[in-house]
Chain A
Amino acid sequence: MKLLHAADLHLAPRLAYIEDENNRRRRREDFAAQVDRLPVLAREHAVEAVILAGDVFDRDLPAVPEVGRLHRAFQDLEKAGVVVLVAPGTHDPWRPGGIWDQRWPANVHIFRSGQWESVVVGDVAFYGIAHTGGPKEGSLFDGIPYTENARLHVGIAHASLLHAYLKERVDGKNYPFEEGELDQTHFNYLALGDHHNPNAVTRGRLTAAYPGSPEGLGLDRAEVGPRYMLVVDVDSVDDPPTLQQVQTNRREVYLDTVSLMEVQHEPRAIVAEEVRRTLLAAASPDRLARFSFSGTLEFPLDIDAAVAEAASGYFLLDVRDHTRMIPESPAEARTIRAGFEARLARTIEQAGDEREAEIARRALSLGLQALEGLL
């Protein structure tokens, strides 16, 4: 059986990081357009079932127009004879009156319980678990029923595989599990959602995969680069399924950290040109980019002009100035500037928390800008 596995569509996403209202609207449409892809890809790849492994919606607001759009896509899939299986996620959990508690077409099965349930399509048994707002007691994979007469077994969950770097950060509500726990399941394939980075692990005959978010949700490392849905061919009882990534993103999230250390001692104009050149080189109208400039300079980084020039080449351009000033002269130098820098250096060093330190860093930068006539 061929499956189309998508997750983390995050329809009606939170886009507060995009200041421009028109761009927010366009970006929201990018996400909504992923819904239209489902029937297209289902037909193109002749899949029999579409799996949506959670966080289809970014927020549990039943009034969002994307609901109607998804409904139409499901109807289209129904006409094509494709079954849709949905495991609600952390952003769009199952709840009475919630976004999933609606009349969906007959081909759509929404898993509504915080315990595993099964539904059989042909000779494949699908097992799904919904997020209902709280953590699951015991192991994620406890209590999976077994369907005797099914040839293949496919699990669907919005759950967090605990990579080493994630262990301390994952809340119980995210249905965390260790890779080893997969061995206790009888699944041939586990369709996962939650991690926005595409990823797959295979243990014996079982493959568990995250397709990732089909559009980059924010200016975050996990959202960078091309985005995918998965076409999964689950056929053999003994061999793991085959996975094919289908690129889906309309626009691309791009992050870059640029060190200005090489031009540290260059004149202001050279540094400004370096910034300008860097920004223009990566420009693309479908790119949401964040540049973080770092390094130690002799003067405050004046990037406004370069950002203004390059901004039109991007869908979104966000530039962070993490540069630091080279102390102008030794601390004992009798200048107001040096005295000011020395005072704020002490404030930064003695700051009680990160915000206090950040404010002191900014105060230093603003004061220096004012003294340089740049404020």
Chain B
Amino acid sequence: MKFIHLEMHGFRAYKEATGIDFEPGLNVFRGDNEAGKSSILRAIKASLFPPRSAPDRNACVSEGSDICRIGLEYELVAGERFRVERDLVEGQQALNAIENGTVRTLATGSSEVAGLLQEHLSCDESLFTRTLMVGHEDLQLASGDELTRAMSVRIESLIGGAGKVPADKAVRRIDEVAKKLTGPRVGDIVVVEQQLAEAQVRLQRAQEQAGRLTECQRELESLETELVKLHREQQELSEGLKQARVVADLEQRKTTVDEHLDLIERSVAARDELAALEQGAAAARAMVSAQIRAETMTVRARIPIPMTIISILLVLGGGGSIYVGQKLLGGLLIGIGVILVATTVAVRIRAATIRRAAIRQEVEQRVVEFETKREQARGQVQALLKGSDKDLQERRRDMSRTQRELEAEIIRLEEFRIPQAELDARESRLGELPALVVEAERNRGGLQQETQSLSAGAAAAPDIEDEIGVMEQRLERLKTRADALRLAQQELSATIDGFRQAIGPRIAADATRRLQLVVPEYAVGLVPDGGLTFRPTRPDGQAFDRLELSDGTDDQFFFALRVALSDVLFSENMLPLLLDDPFRYSDQRRKIELHSMLEDMARMRQVLYFTLDEPEGLQVTHQLPLAQARR
């Protein structure tokens, strides 16, 4: 590749439109300070890699200018010619192909233009700046920095490539994918591990619920059994008590019937007794009358006969006497007979009266007793049952029949007959049972509710197990993939390192060859295990501290290294080498040797050499400042 023509308008020192035609080989730009050397170098770089930031772009605009345009025409090794144009004020760009004098726009988008340029240059900005634009600054190639990566890409393309994607980019891509998997906070593996841990907690909870559910079901079964027992007990007690109550009722009824029957019996007896007493009273009264009569008779009977006869005889005698005229005597006799009779009768009557009174008293006492008893019996009869005897008899028969029936029923239900204490105990137990049933049913309800609520949780266990299985498999896959990615990254990096190490000596040898043209006492060595890190060494390769080099030798070291890098990295399209007075610290002898080297190099590639001094041994092709077109 070589630059053909550069145009600047409003660019730094070139406020007016200025054009530069480049020689195909060595171009020597000489000018004093402020003559515009750096502006040309920067215009070339800005044409290929425009400044990204606004301040950098603004710094390119000439003072007082409202435009800033640059254009660089270049030719590839195969002869294809292109022109890149940029308007740094308007932010526009275009890459045109120039074929037979006609211009064809290939791209106007910034990234499209950049892509095409990178394709033409085979390098990016960092590699271009650090390799092709040689100043007097040093060149550090730390492993892993942007330049090293850029060099790796270039090396890969030189050694045949790795595929569609540069190996270094592939390593970074693998690293990105691996980090997405293994990132400590949001990496896929961490996320799945968290989900897995959460699922395991849920599973544990479901298993606990399943365990509790089993317990609940057992308790529920036991409670159901208990409830059945309680209900059965309630039913049995209720039935037993019902029968017992029937028996008790029968017994009660029988007692009542017994009592009633007894009453009837007593009523009948009382009536009999009353009748007997009535009869007794009548008999007593009759007996009193009889006794009185008898007593009267007795009194009569007990008037002594001799006295009676004497009295009669006296009376008769008296009567006779009177008749006979013995009236006094007769009267006396009659009087004596009457007195005798009267006295006897009176005595007798008095005795009979006393006796009769005693008998009457006794009889009346007995009558009173009878009547008292009768009255009592009557009272009892009145207090007992009324009705006729016939009724009573019928009732007694009925009652007796009822009594027999009751007795038969009681015998039939004998098994249900329980002692009162037991009956009371059972009644008490029966009274307690409803509360126990309610309690058990409440417990059952609670357990059923708990069972229901546990069932859903416990039933989820298989689903969660599957979920965990899916996650474990996913995690295993991710881990395997992460391991594979790490291995791929490690192996690809190692492969790249291997190639770096392999190409490093070539660069070092090339750089050494160039360096020793100027300073034979030095060589360029590769830092062991440092990727593409180079260092100055003694000719035998022995390392020494770079600080021992003079500024001039230091510049020559890095110049040689860059040229060597450029030769190795861009050997196929031989990019122009832009040298910004890199030998300013070299002594005259070395400068002559270096200028000679430039002439040699320019036979193979285009060289743009900018210098403040007269370049001894070289012809100045472009004296600065350049003439600028005036509007």
A residues apposed to B, CB below 8 Å: 12, 14-19, 21, 24-25, 28, 58-59, 61-65, 97, 103, 333-337, 339-340, 343-344, 347, 355, 358-360, 362-368, 370-373, 375
Contact = CB atoms under 8 A, between A and B. Distances in A.
Interface string B472-511: 1110000011011111100110111011001000000000
Contacts of A18: 466, 470
A339 B499 contact: yes
B164 A343 contact: no
Interface stretch (B170-178, B343-351, B439-447): B170-178
Contacts of B164: 371-373
Interface of B: 156, 159-165, 167, 170-171, 173-174, 177, 209-210, 213-214, 217, 221, 454-455, 458-459, 461-463, 465-470, 472-474, 480-481, 483-488, 491-492, 494-496, 498-499, 502
In this complex, which of B173, B461, B462, B467 has the most chain A Cβ atoms within 10 angstroms of its Cβ?
A: B462
Contacts of B221: 103
A375 B499 CA distance: 23
Q: Which 7 A-B residue pairs are closest in the complex by CB-CB distance? A: A16-B469, A371-B163, A63-B458, A362-B484, A363-B487, A367-B488, A370-B170
Contacts of A347: 487, 491
A372 B487 CA distance: 17
Contacts of B162: 335-337, 340, 371
Contacts of B481: 362, 366
13 contacts: A24-B463, A59-B465, A64-B459, A103-B221, A334-B499, A336-B161, A347-B487, A358-B480, A363-B485, A367-B170, A370-B174, A371-B163, A375-B177
A375 B514 CA distance: 43
Contacts of A358: 480
A371 B170 contact: yes
A355 B499 CA distance: 29
Contacts of A339: 495, 498-499
B174 A366 contact: yes
Nearest to B471: A16
A175 to B, nearest CB: 25
A170 B462 CA distance: 26
Contacts of B502: 334
A366 B484 contact: yes
A373 B163 contact: yes
Contact of B466 (A15, A65, A343): A15
B466 A14 contact: yes
A125 B148 CA distance: 85
B449 to A, nearest CB: 16
Nearest to B496: A336
A91 to B, nearest CB: 12
Contacts of A335: 159-162
A25 B467 CA distance: 11
A157 to B, nearest CB: 26
A172 to B, nearest CB: 26
Nearest to B499: A336
Nearest to B209: A63
A336 B473 contact: no
Given A340-B495, A373-B165, A375-B173, A334 B160 contact: yes
Contacts of A373: 163-165
Given A367-B170, A370-B488, A371-B165, A65 B498 contact: no
A58 B465 CA distance: 12
A16 B473 contact: yes
B280 to A, nearest CB: 85
A373 B170 CA distance: 8
B159 A336 contact: yes
B494 A343 contact: yes
Contacts of B160: 333-335
B9 to A, nearest CB: 41
A367 B491 contact: yes
Nearest to B480: A359
Nearest to A24: B466
Contact of B462 (A12, A97, A337, A344): A12
A363 B484 CA distance: 4
Nearest to A97: B214
Nearest to A25: B463
Contacts of B496: 336
A65 B459 contact: yes
A372 B492 CA distance: 13
B459 A367 contact: no
A58 B461 CA distance: 13
A106 B160 CA distance: 81
A63 B473 CA distance: 25
Given A335-B162, A337-B162, 11 more contacts: A17-B473, A21-B463, A24-B466, A63-B214, A336-B167, A337-B167, A343-B494, A344-B491, A359-B484, A359-B487, A370-B488
Nearest to B171: A370
B443 to A, nearest CB: 19
Given A343-B491, A359-B483, A360-B487, A64 B473 contact: no
Contacts of A24: 463, 466
A65 B459 CA distance: 6
Interface centre among B156, B171, B213, B488 (most CB of A within 10 A): B488
A336 B173 contact: no
B473 A370 contact: no
A358 B481 CA distance: 10
A16 B471 CA distance: 8
A362 B480 contact: yes
B461 A63 contact: yes
A366 B488 contact: yes
A371 B495 CA distance: 13
A358 to B, nearest CB: 7
Contact of B488 (A21, A61, A363): A363
B531 to A, nearest CB: 14
A257 B473 CA distance: 22
Contacts of A375: 170, 173-174, 177
A279 B533 CA distance: 52
Given A336-B162, A372-B163, A14 B488 contact: no
A360 B470 CA distance: 24
Contacts of A17: 469, 473
B497 to A, nearest CB: 10
A332 to B, nearest CB: 12
Contact of A63 (B213, B465, B474): B213
Nearest to A367: B488
Contacts of A62: 210, 213-214, 217
A277 B138 CA distance: 60
A58 to B, nearest CB: 8
A371 B171 CA distance: 8
Nearest to B207: A61
Contacts of B494: 343
Contacts of B488: 344, 362-364, 366-367, 370
B159 A14 contact: no
Nearest to A338: B160
Contacts of B492: 336, 340, 367, 370-371
Given A366-B485, A372-B163, A14 B469 contact: yes
B571 to A, nearest CB: 15
Contacts of A362: 480-481, 484, 488
Contacts of B159: 334-336
A256 to B, nearest CB: 21
Given A336-B499, A363-B491, A367-B488, A16 B163 contact: no
Contacts of B462: 12, 14, 28, 58-59, 61, 64
B3 to A, nearest CB: 32
A21 B161 CA distance: 45
Name the residue among B170, B171, B221, B502 with the largest chain A CB count within 10 angstroms. Answer: B170
Nearest to B502: A334
A370 B468 CA distance: 31
A25 B455 CA distance: 18
A374 to B, nearest CB: 9
A12 B159 CA distance: 59
A333 to B, nearest CB: 7
